Structure 1
């Protein structure tokens, strides 16, 4: 499968969040390494995987208001 890799600034333009917000608030709380971003060649630079982010955003908008995102990419839904 081919993925679209984005820098923080490019992702910021697509999802209309400030790049600083992505780095400080979304990364590692709703955007997880291995699922939503990678560090190519073990370096410091981060590349976000657009297709996985887009899929999870669409899934999150269709789930219950009482759902908790899981690290595996799924959701725990509380009834």
Structure 2
């Protein structure tokens, strides 16, 4: 399976969020390094992985109750 790599601006356009919101609020809170984004060659540049982001957006929109996303991919309810 090939991955689609997106810059912050490209991701912002796809999910209709401001790029600043992605950098300041979503990155490292909802979008996790190694799952939703990578830093190729150990550099500063960030590339987002579209498939895991799309999967998790759909997964969490189907949940009935509000929960806190956990680093391992689970959700804490309560």
Whether the TM-score (by the shorter chain) exceeds 0.5 is: yes
Equivalent pairs counted in the alignment come to: 78
Of 12-21 and 57-66, the range deviating more from structure 2: 57-66
Kept in 2, the 8 Å contact 1:64–1:77? The answer is: no
Structure 1 gap segments, 5+ residues each? none
Q: Hey, what does 1:15 align to over in structure 2? A: 15
Q: Alignment partner of 1:13: what SS?
A: helix
Structure 2 gap segments, 5+ residues each? none
CA distance in 2, matches of 1:77, 1:21: 25
TM-score by length of 1: 0.91
Kept in 2, the 8 Å contact 1:69–1:75? The answer is: yes
Q: CA RMSD in A?
A: 1.1
